[in-house]
Amino acid sequence: MKSYFAQHIGPAGAGHAEMNSKSRTANEVAALLLAAYFLFFYGIGARSLWSPDEPRYAQVAREMLVTGEWIVPHLNGEVYPEKPPLYFWLVALLSKLGGEVTESTARIPSATAATLIVLLTYFLGRGLMGRDEAFWGALITATSAQFFVNAREGALDALLALSILASLSLFYVGYAKSKPALYLAGFLFITPAVLTKGPVGFAIPPLVMLVFLVVEILFRGVPARKQIWWFIGAAAFGLLLVAAMVAPWWFSAYQRSGGAYASLSILTKQTLGRMIESYSHQRPWHYYLGEIWWQFFPWSVFLPLAAYRLKKNGYLRTNGGLRFILVWFLTVFLFFTFVSGKRSQYLMPLLPAGGLILGWTLVNANPGEGRLRERKAFSIPLALAALVSGAGVAVIVLYVYHHANRSIISAVPPVAVFWAILVTASLVCRDRPPKTALACVIATTVLAVVYVYGHLSPVADDFMSARPFCSDVLAASGKSDSIAFYRTYRPNIHFYMNRTIPRVDTEGGLRQALETTDRLLVILQAREQDSLIRDVQCKLETIAQAKIGSREMVCLALWR
């Protein structure tokens, strides 16, 4: 009888199960794509490009598009050696369809990379730990504050994180299935990482792979030793292939720039110059220990639970996929901790790993059982997240309305609505399983992002955007007027002026510039205005003044 059912009913049942599995996968992917649209794309062009990075990178892409120089990046007419060209290529190619770089085209490559990260996190997580853990891990990644903030910015970090994720995913699949060819495929994805952000893209994937294999030797012994020899062979050949793919652009850029780009001195500056006594963004070693709490918010309230469950019941000893994710997370975290130059977005490559760890933690804590108010492991962190979210939204809304010179009273309704949503969700969820409350966290986060980026960001443009200031300068400038920055360079002003603007740093240089034009428009910070008036003897008038972000900017017209 048993063999009969296995022979006749089993295949039909298996086919039905397979069909249900495909249907569930399609539904989950559709849910992730829908969330990605609202989190990353909704209102993507609603605000101006804000300093420091967005307008700088957009301007580099614009100069590629205008000049036709696609090999050597330029900024303000000069070689820009700080970053490789891949992100600029993507922005310029996308902008070529409409003929100009816009706020949307500057950000779409980043938002697209973030969407692909969410999907790849989901499919990788299914292979590492299970369907439910993968789905929640992908949602947690997408709704973590650092992730959706960076996804909506026209910056390099999401593209770098995608390249690293693809490389590590192929590596682990090759490891799990004992297919060394996939190791090599993983190394090939180092190429876009290098072309996005240089040496850091070359360093992180092999480092994570090597640390993981060393850990596996400690856990598995002889079987893992065989894999490490495969890894060494794949690394040697793979890194040579990466070098071969990057080298044609590298040498061409070096030659076309006369050594101003891709030189050894610049490479040294971008590696040792950032790792040891960084020339920019230098932070103490413990900087990320504080940053990580907001980076994963609202899910960071579950980080203590994740740490507890990872230590419990020998999960790490029996689950190779979980070991890989933890090694990935810790290796990237420690790598950037010991780098002198630190910025919050540098940790983007570890966010998918953190999302999967948190997804595994929540699923294995059985969120479908009991009532929320009885499950302290869920109710206390979620209550804390709700309070911090409510207070945070209130502070942000009031800050924006105050600095935009809007009535504070008009800020009350959105804050009240958000608090009403939090209170209602709390009351509805308290007698339901914790899983319902977790779903409410997702929904509330998406609603908050839609409000902030669809409505609040355009309000913040009143004091963050350089566009009105630039419009005033352009309206007051004549065809024969020259324009220069004085002792400053602001990429947001440069982008919206849409012209090459030389920088002058001395009074002598300013006098020399005055000799070549009838009238010189000088853009400077207001704090420099008195010294300029004192040191440069000429007639002048103020033609534009505005506070852009935290800087008071002024444009003076000078003539003799």
Write down the pLDDT at residue 183. Answer: 84
Pairing of the two strands 78-79 and 74-75? antiparallel
For residues 205 and 242, give the distance between their C-alpha atoms in angstroms, rounded to a whole number.
Answer: 13
Which segment of 191-195, 254-258, 448-452 scores lowest on mean pLDDT? Answer: 254-258
Over residues 62-97, the pLDDT tens digits come to 999 999 999 999 999 999 988 999 999 999 999 999
For residues 367 and 359, give the distance between their C-alpha atoms in angstroms, rounded to a whole number.
Answer: 11
User: How far are the Cα atoms of 218, 388, 547 from residue 395, in angstroms, in the given order?
Assistant: 49, 10, 21
Q: What is the CATH T-level fold of the domain 467-559, as seen in this structure?
A: Translation Initiation Factor IF3 (3.30.110)
DSSP state of 341: B
Over residues 350-401, the pLDDT tens digits come to 999 999 999 999 999 999 999 999 999 999 999 999 999 999 999 999 999 9
Cβ 281 vs Cβ 291: under 8 Å: no
Mean pLDDT score, 161-181 = 92
For residues 283 and 280, give the distance between their C-alpha atoms in angstroms, rounded to a whole number.
Answer: 9
Mean pLDDT score, 273-295 = 80
Nearest-CA neighbor of 188 among 237, 233, 128, 227? 237
Write down the pLDDT at residue 15. Answer: 63
10, amino acid identity: G
3-class secondary structure for 236-303?
Answer: HHHHHHHHHHHHHHHHHHHHHCCCCCCCHHHHHHHHHHHHCCCCCCECCCCHHHHHHHHHCCCHHHHH
Mean pLDDT score, 278-299 = 87
Pairing of the two strands 520-525 and 482-486? parallel
pLDDT bin (cut points 50, 70, 90) of residue 339 is confident
Write down the pLDDT at residue 13. Answer: 53
Over residues 1-52, the pLDDT tens digits come to 334 334 433 444 556 667 778 889 999 999 999 999 999 999 999 999 998 8
Q: Work out the mean pLDDT of the chain and round it to a whole number.
A: 90
Cβ 151 vs Cβ 180: under 8 Å: no
502, amino acid identity: P
Write down the pLDDT at residue 424. Answer: 95
For residues 418 and 499, give the distance between their C-alpha atoms in angstroms, rounded to a whole number.
Answer: 43
For residues 146 and 83, give the distance between their C-alpha atoms in angstroms, rounded to a whole number.
Answer: 22
Over residues 403-446, the pLDDT tens digits come to 999 988 999 999 999 999 999 999 999 999 999 999 999 999 99
Cβ 325 vs Cβ 128: under 8 Å: yes
For residues 114 and 234, give the distance between their C-alpha atoms in angstroms, rounded to a whole number.
Answer: 28
Cβ 161 vs Cβ 351: under 8 Å: yes
Domain parsing of the chain, residue ranges? 45-364, 372-454, 467-559
Cβ 525 vs Cβ 551: under 8 Å: yes
Over residues 98-111, the pLDDT tens digits come to 999 999 999 999 99
Write down the pLDDT at residue 264. Answer: 60
227, amino acid identity: Q
Instruction: Find residue 504's DSSP bridge partners.
Output: 486
Write down the pLDDT at residue 61. Answer: 97
Which segment of 6-20, 108-122, 170-184, 473-487 scores lowest on mean pLDDT? Answer: 6-20
Residue 305 clears pLDDT 60, i.e. is over it: yes
pLDDT bin (cut points 50, 70, 90) of residue 346 is very high
Q: What percent of the chain has pLDDT over 70?
A: 92
